[in-house]
Structure 1
Amino acid sequence: MRGLAVIDRRIFLRGTAGALAAPALAAPAIAQVKPHVVVVGGGAGGATAAKYLVSTGAELDVTLVEQNRQFVTPFTSNQFLAGLKPYEQLVFGYDNLAGRGVKLVFERVAGIARTAKRLRLADGSEIPYDRLIISPGIDFRYADVPGYSAEAAERMPHAWRGGDQLLLLKRRLDAVEDGGLIVIIAPPTPYRCPPAPYERASMMALALKRRGVKDVRIVILDAKDHFTMQPLFEDGWERHYPGVIEWQDPKMHGGIKSVDPKSMTVTTDLETHKAALVNVIPPQQAGRLGRDAGLTDETGWCPVDAGTMKSLVDANIHVIGDAAIGGDFPKSGFAANNEAKNTAMIVRHELLGGRLLPVRFTNHCWSTIAPDDAIKNGARYEPRDGKIVMLDPYTSQRDESAELREKQAKEAVGWYRGMTTDMFG
């Protein structure tokens, strides 16, 4: 990173500690002290929140804490598997946020001292905050899939976070030969991006079709008895990849009994699958930071007030993105971006005063079945009685014209460009 892109944590903390320990100042000097907002997590939620906190002036000190110096977008990553998008187009850095005035700290967060309102970092330093916004993303409940683990993911990748796992899944997919079997294990709800396992099956089938691989099967073993936009996906599979993709609900396969990374087998109550590639998408929960800070409930997710995205456990902490649960809102990049903008507005209003608009949410999701065939769904949402309530949902229809599907595929490309620009400036 260049110049002001990274602040030295210990210099930053010495300066802040000095301000905290200094004698009482005259009133004019006190007026110049800026509230300090710390944002943890540099994805669709955190990066957007940090940008919007500084976008309308310099009245706040904003620090973004992120472990990695680059972010690989999970959304649209399935297109990389099919060869529709190069990996480099999924990768973003944080220089532009630094140029806007966001202070960057690249370090893992070890914990939150909630009473003291201090963030503890893995290197032993601490960052005090007046308000904290966390977007810790997801973690996996590996043990819910018998035989699966973080180590097993090196042979049976989940690829649900991008990065090395996505590259590994791509290599495994490119190695599948004629007659090969691919098994996808789809998780129970809630999880990140509800249509994504089925878009992934589509993109895998497209990659194999482009390579001319023959007599392959993709079997989806689902934990659910139905999935989002199911008739649309199944219609698309029959049109573009007839006989390739087979979906099984729990009544059909009887449940996942075990996976064995060494033999590359998946055993269900019905049969044992010997596969060339196994993509296990495990059940999910809030990221470690939210759990360790005691911000989760019995569901494993962080409950929030829908009108403010404030944690129901600690009102000085806002939880946004996939880790939060607040009602009907899905877990998606679009949703996290929406939550971040509303949260930035609320934090600025509460710390500085000024205009406060009604809180509204929207979500739109495009899923690519083939290069010129994309489907979509979405809705608008609003907070009611502390929960996010869905209003006016819509979804694509089976009888849509080829021209409309092609238009929607182009919409998806435009949305991604706009979304990443909105996140990273």
Structure 2
Amino acid sequence: MGGSVRAHDLKHRRHQEACAADGASLAAMYLYGDVLEAVVERVPASDLAATARVSREWLRAVRAALRRRPRRLPWLVVHLQARGGGRRCAAAYDPCAGAWLAVPAPRHAAPSHVRLVRGARGDRVCALSLSGLDVAADPLGTAAGVALAAPAVWRVDPVFAAVGDRVVALGGACGLALADGQEAAAVEVHEAGRWAACDPVPDALRDSAAATWLSAAATDQRVYLVERTTGWASWFDPATRRWGPTRRLGPDPAVTTWGVAPGRVGAAGEERLLLFGAKRADKEAECTVVVQAWELDGSTLEETPSAPSDAMPPEFSERLFPRDDIDDDDDDQGLDDAPLSIGLCGNASGGYVYNAAEPANGAVLYELREEEGKAKGSATAVARWEWVPCAPAVQAEPLARAILACSPMGLDELALAVAARAHTDAHPRASTPNLPIH
């Protein structure tokens, strides 16, 4: 009796092994051509890298599906760093699937102050030291970085931007370390392996020439700067090494905090900007804070004609800037005393708005219209708004420093993320704990 039971178990185990071995071949047999591409189109982006490795047929299907229905919106990436330095991890939000992908800290991560390089092709984290500037090679910071020489001017809070194959360092210099002829608002462009000095930040922005006080956006041609509290703005072209017009943006004088991101590309290829502003609402309003967006001409920094402002839905702005738990008698005073700080990251397809002072509150996704002519009767730039919950990594480490960025995510970047997670699963003691995906 016992022998027959063992024989039955062995037969059942062999049957299971055979089914597992033939799974890939059966999938390739029944899923091919248009049927396979239709299935792949519904696969979450975080699983596309594994899907593409099944076979060459599946790889072609993944590429064809992405060409036919490109996932144009950038991902929101949160980089976490422990206070005082230390190892970090990242979390990436897939706007198509509405899910977070946790990425453990890379093995090469060094204890250093992490900064951000704005770029039209995606934001990158970097580490600045006396010996050089180390820029991450991928959006998630999982691959080894690209090492550059340190700028000639020592900086403690600079704005970094990547425009084409050039890296720009603007302002943020340390006043105590300035040499003769150097100034805190100095600008340098890294090109052909060396840094070249350029004209400093314009006078209107010179007193606020640091990443703490400036909102920056990088496109394929320029770096745009907006002073967060006053609205003074200008742009810098690293190819010609010249500054554009400097003007004070004032679509709404009640706005107390500003942010800027790349906007849509015009029909003639001209650049546009998306300017965000936040202000306190009237006492009778349904929310305490109003967030609006305006489309600007990239060259003149003037509002685009016949383009009304886009207002964020009040239920989203209320979640970004929740009402304080204060008494009714002190309501007005409490609202006036609490400063607003808006954060922004995006590209020509869309981006994310968040509370820079409280990134754990979550974020709001905005998607830009592809072309003006496709939406007759609506000249607004924003096609839709969507709430993005806080990353589980931020909730798990509330005391960590969170750096929010965004970037397009392709198969290569997703493959790096999958490889990093696989290494963590294989060596759990060598990396940060794996975080759940929501």
Normalising by the residue count of structure 2, what TM-score does the alignment of the two structures yield?
0.25
Relative contact order higher in (CA < 8 Å, ≥ 6 apart): 1
Name the structure where strand makes up a greater proportion of residues. 2
Greater helix content: 1
Considering only CA atoms, is the larger Rg found in Structure 1 or Structure 2? 2
